[in-house]
Amino acid sequence: MARVKKIDNAILKRIQQKKERERRSYRKKPVRRRILIVCEGEKTEPNYFRSYQMKLPKGLVKLDIFGEGENTLNIVHKAIHLRDTENKLGICYDECWVVFDKDSFPSGRFNSAVFLARKEGIGCAYSNEAFELWYLLHFEFYENAMSRTMYQSLLSTHLKVRYKKNHDAIFELLQGLGNEFKAIQRAKRLAGNYEGSNPAMENPVTYVFELIQSLREFINTG
């Protein structure tokens, strides 16, 4: 019978140390997360969140952003479909969000979209009346309902350039001239005025801050 050669204790110790280093290294590696964001608009909101992706630590989180050009309720159904399709493929989203505005959509349909998203566990970053309210809150607190035309006029004043929808540099302008942290505080203050039982009547309000807060956690982690 062949004699089994013993491994030197020093070699065993080095192997054990290497394994321990690998375990510690693995524990330190951030877990990559995937977030689904389905937007009503085809350009304004998707462009904003694609720019936000550049602000997030590389390799830590991936945003899958869709601009559908659909109405409120269809946006939620689209998000559910995308989420469930990925789940069947064994790829799960860590968070799912819908982003849409009240605009001129019927109140009943708007409320149904919000309630369905909540029921499905999907984050609902809706704005009443428009997504641009989130932009404005980077500069001042506004608590009176206003038209979309007024949004654009006020933004042009704050940004020192004429505001146009789908402005390519809007994210950079907001980051440079506005204050995102104060925008979150102001949006929270607005949301505190309502109980959430009739979203269509909450004006002005924007829950985009909830999605931004979630994304900012990755910045702090990174």
pLDDT at 104: 81
Q: What is the rounded distance in angstroms from the CA atom of residue 44 to the CA atom of residue 135?
A: 11
pLDDT at 25: 46
Of 215, 219, 191, nearest to 204 by C-alpha is 191
The domain limits of the chain are 36-221
**Whether this model's pTM surpasses 0.85:** no
Backbone φ and ψ for 125, nearest 5 degrees, come out as -95, 65
Q: What is the rounded distance in angstroms from the CA atom of residue 113 to the CA atom of residue 101?
A: 11
* pLDDT level of residue 30 (50, 70, 90 thresholds): low
* pLDDT level of residue 121 (50, 70, 90 thresholds): very high
Of 118, 128, 126, 111, nearest to 207 by C-alpha is 126
DSSP 87-120: HHTT---SEEEEE-B-TTS-HHHHHHHHHHHHHT
Q: Would you say residue 203 has pLDDT above 70?
A: yes
Q: Which regions of 172-211 does DSSP assign to beta strands (E)?
A: 205-206
pLDDT at 31: 54
* pLDDT level of residue 69 (50, 70, 90 thresholds): confident
Other beta carbons within 10 angstroms of residue 141's beta carbon come to: 13
Summary mean pLDDT of the chain? 87
Q: Would you say residue 4 has pLDDT above 70?
A: no
pLDDT in tens, 143-184: 999 888 899 999 999 999 999 887 888 999 999 999 999 999
Exposure string over 192-215, b if 16+ CB within 10 A, otherwise e: eeeeeeebbebbbbbbbbbbbebb
pLDDT at 1: 47
pLDDT at 220: 64
Q: Would you say residue 39 has pLDDT above 80?
A: yes
